[in-house]
Amino acid sequence: MTDKTRAAIEIVPFSELHIPMFTAWFNALPNNHVWTEDFVRSRTVDDPTYDPGLMLAATRDGAPVGFVLGNLANETGWIRAFIVHPNLRKQGIGSGLFEAIENACRDRGVTDVNVGWAIPRYFLPGIDVTYTSAIVFLDRHGYETDRTARVNMDVDLAGRSFDTAEREARLSDLGITVRRANTGDLDQITELCEANDSAMWALETGMALECDPAPIFIAIKEGRVCAFAAHSVCGPIHFGPMLTSTELRGMGIGSVLLKRCLQDWQRVGLTTCDISWAGPISFYARTVGATVGRAFWAFHKSLDRDNA
């Protein structure tokens, strides 16, 4: 960024006023057209981790020209999304935003930054591997990736039956019942997540339980929640997370919960959905014919205080 350009750009906190613009730009990215302003709001100004020094907008003459959205968690900096107006790239705007957020992390005593997702609320599992300009930008600014791919899977919903009545009857004979979750189930779902080293999923299911009706189904055995599956938490058409107690896997519980979620989407007219950060891939391919779709990389940088 030249001195003249830098003087023309002002870095300000991301606010409610910026949500429509960010949503429109984010939806304009390839394969990324489903985000609503409400979802963006839940991951920005309504996020309990919102810090105005880490969620930033770059403006020129008062108009937004770029955004970087970050937060702190587990003594680490997280950048969950960044974007510059497509007609204004390669002018140093993104560099200025990253300089600002890296300095803010240092000021808070944080020297490790992850890019592409975020605890506890993220947009995507990482940087889409087809977003070449974003990957080149991160590489130029010292961010590294191990190239481990996180993948979404696509499911076609149109004209398909995901009926679970027969399978649920078999589970009932084994003492396992399935129903939609409610806020009273949160403690048991949290216990299940923590017992399976998936504490972050407890946060995500908590967000699902804030909705009415809650987009989460549970299985109960002997009065205890033994499995759950949620949708519309990671994103508007995104499935997950899902978890079944280890000792009950292989009984078809996960298949029922997954299909219950897909039925929800069919009822509101959706014809496709994504399984976010999918795994195991073979389970989803076998159960609902899901196919591998988008792939993502996560990036990391250790900030050098001495050279800040």
Tens of pLDDT, residue by residue over 166-218, are 999 999 999 999 999 999 999 999 999 999 988 889 988 998 999 999 999 99
Shared domain for 174 and 263, answered yes or no, is: yes
Residue 283 lies in a domain: no
| Residue 166 shares a structural domain with residue 144 | no
SS3 category, 308: coil
3-state secondary structure of 288: helix
228 and 266, same domain (yes or no): yes
Q: How far out from the chain centre does Cα 132 lie?
A: 20
Average pLDDT value for the chain:
94
Contacts of 223 (CB under 8 A, 6+ apart): none
Nearest to 158 by CA among 232, 235, 240, 265: 265
Q: Is residue 113 part of a domain?
A: yes
pLDDT of 182: 96
For residues 172 and 113, membership in a common domain is answered with no
CA distance 162 to 71: 39
- The count of structural domains within the chain is 2
Query: pTM of this prediction?
Result: 0.92
For residue 227, give every residue at least 6 positions away whose Cβ sits within 8 Å of its Cβ, in sequence order, or none. Answer: 192, 218, 219, 242, 243, 244, 245, 248, 253, 254, 257
Determine contact, residues 236/200, Cβ cutoff 8 Å.
Answer: no
Note the pLDDT tens digit of each residue in 258-269: 999 999 999 999
Residues 12 and 142 both lie in one domain: yes
> Does residue 158 carry a pLDDT above 50?
yes
Same domain, 114 and 175: no
Pair (12, 127) in one structural domain: yes
- Grade residue 7 by pLDDT with cuts at 50, 70 and 90: low
CA distance 47 to 16: 12
Same domain, 44 and 114: yes
Residue 275 lies in a domain: no
Please indicate, yes or no, if residue 45 is contained in any of the structural domains: yes
User: Do 135 and 175 lie in a common domain?
Assistant: no
Task: Quote the crossing angle between the two packed helices 165-173 and 253-267, to the nearest 10°.
Answer: 140
Helices (H), 51-177: 93-107, 132-140, 165-173
| Contact of 124 with 238, CB cutoff 8 Å | no
Q: Is residue 211 part of a domain?
A: yes
Query: What number of other Cβ atoms are within 10 A of residue 242's Cβ?
Result: 21
Confirm whether 88 is domain-assigned: yes
Tell me whether residue 276 is in a domain: no
Q: Are residues 90 and 182 in the same domain?
A: no
200 and 99 belong to one structural domain: no
Do 51 and 128 share a domain, yes or no? Answer: yes
289: in domain: no
Q: Residue 261 belongs to a domain with what CATH number?
A: 3.40.630.30
Q: Are strands 216-221 and 150-156 parallel, antiparallel or unpaired?
A: unpaired
| Domain enclosing residue 140, as ranges | 3-150+296-307
Grade residue 132 by pLDDT with cuts at 50, 70 and 90.
very high
Quick one: pLDDT at residue 308? 46
